[in-house]
Homo-oligomer: A and B are copies of this chain.
């Protein structure tokens, strides 16, 4: 049935029913009034972020189903909460969609959003559903908590800090390229990167794990691409960085696909967006003793890729020791690339 025949309030009523009993104690009033009402925990700060996914810019319905689109939208916002080492409390969904979309498509989209949300204890607590003339817009605002004064900023990287990243870099871009070109490759090798593109994982638990064990100085999530996001850390902290090319964690799936496409996998690792991994800096040596346990706990690598230096440039160190200036070539809306 088309949304045109359902009506906004029926959709909202359905979401409200689905969320009953899923609110944490801090959420006093969820969906159903002019505002959601929260009673924040004592001794916590609140963190809040908003992210929009636009059809045919961030996603399309040829490569992804509505469930995956919903999950991806929720993952993008939760990833910002992870980047501050926060715990989500709830989300607001502002969704604009053409009236000729099907009720079933909307329900799948919602299922993708709420399934990932529930996985991270982030129920929908409010929102706004509107019609769009053309194209689907999904905006998700997430509100979360951190211990007072402990939100992890971009602006506190120190000279000499090691730069670490979780997971594999460039996998999401590799997955996208696979879906674009559909080369005939061993499915088993490329399946993980397709999965990373279609169903990214916000590193909420990984970030909490790290912060509880180690003094992290600065952190960001890699949403635009390492070359852009590490730059955000450097600019906010007024420092530079050196990245060692050979240390970049690149999966065998990404390497295979890059080779097949005649592209350097380093390009994807440095400039591919939407990996939603964490990039963090910490004093030399402090992460070493937790690497093994982290990797066993999350079945995910955590890799030292460089060092914070004086200046304002990010330099890429190649194997022969040559250094190149790394330009920010991650995603930038409105920029011509």
Chain A residues proximal to chain B, CB less than 8 Å: 3-9, 11, 28-29, 32-40, 42, 45-52, 54-58, 80-81, 83-84, 86, 92, 94, 96, 99, 125-135, 137, 139, 141, 143-144, 146, 148, 151, 153-155, 220-221, 236, 332-336
Closest B residue, CB atoms, query A220: B34
* Shortest CB distance A261–B (Å): 25
Which of B32, B34, B144 contacts A35 (CB under 8 A)?
A: B144
A-B complex: 5 closest residue pairs judged by Cβ atoms: A35-B47, A34-B83, A8-B333, A7-B335, A35-B49
**Is A36 a contact partner of B8 (Cβ separation < 8 A)?**
no
Q: Are B135 and A134 in contact (CB under 8 A)?
A: yes
Contact across chains for A36 and B32 when beta carbons are under 8 A apart = no
- 13 intermolecular pairs with C-beta atoms under 8 Å apart: A34-B83, A35-B49, A37-B151, A38-B45, A46-B143, A48-B48, A48-B92, A50-B94, A54-B96, A57-B132, A94-B139, A96-B137, A129-B334
> A45 to B39, Cβ gap below 8 A?
yes
A84 and B33 contacting across the interface, CB-CB below 8 Å: yes
Q: Which residues of B contact A81 (CB under 8 A)?
A: 34-35
Q: Are A33 and B236 in contact (CB under 8 A)?
A: yes
When distances are taken between beta carbons in the complex, the residues of chain B under 8 Å from A9 are 332
Contact indicator A54/B3 (Cβ below 8 Å):
no
Residues of B within 8 A of A11 (CB): 334
For the complex with contacts A33-B153, A52-B130, 14 further pairs of A-B residues with Cβ separation under 8 Å are A4-B334, A6-B334, A8-B335, A11-B334, A28-B45, A32-B236, A35-B47, A36-B48, A38-B48, A49-B126, A50-B127, A50-B139, A54-B96, A131-B334
CA distance A336 to B55 in the complex (A): 25
Query: Whole-angstrom distance between the alpha carbons of A40 and B131 in the complex?
Result: 34
Whether A133 and B56, one on each chain, are in contact in the complex, defined by CB atoms closer than 8 angstroms, is yes
A6, A28, A33, A55, most chain B CB atoms within 10 A = A33
Pick the contact of A52: B3, B33, B134, B139 (CB < 8 A).
B139
Distance in angstroms from A190 CB to nearest chain B CB is: 28
Bound CA span A92–B58, Å: 20
A46 touches B38 (CB 8 A): yes
Residue among A8, A46, A57 with most chain B CB within 10 A: A46
B126:A50 contact, CB within 8 angstroms: yes
Which residues of B are found within 8 Å of A47, using beta-carbon distances? Answer: 35-38
Q: How far is the CA of A47 from the CA of B30 in the complex (A)?
A: 10
Q: A84-B33, A130-B57 are in contact. Are A46 and B52 (CB under 8 A)?
A: no
**Separation of A29 and B86 alpha carbons in the complex (Å):** 14
Closest residue of chain B to A49 (Cβ to Cβ) is B35
Q: Which residue of the partner chain B has the closest CB to A7?
A: B335
| Complexed CA–CA distance, A320 and B75 (Å) | 59
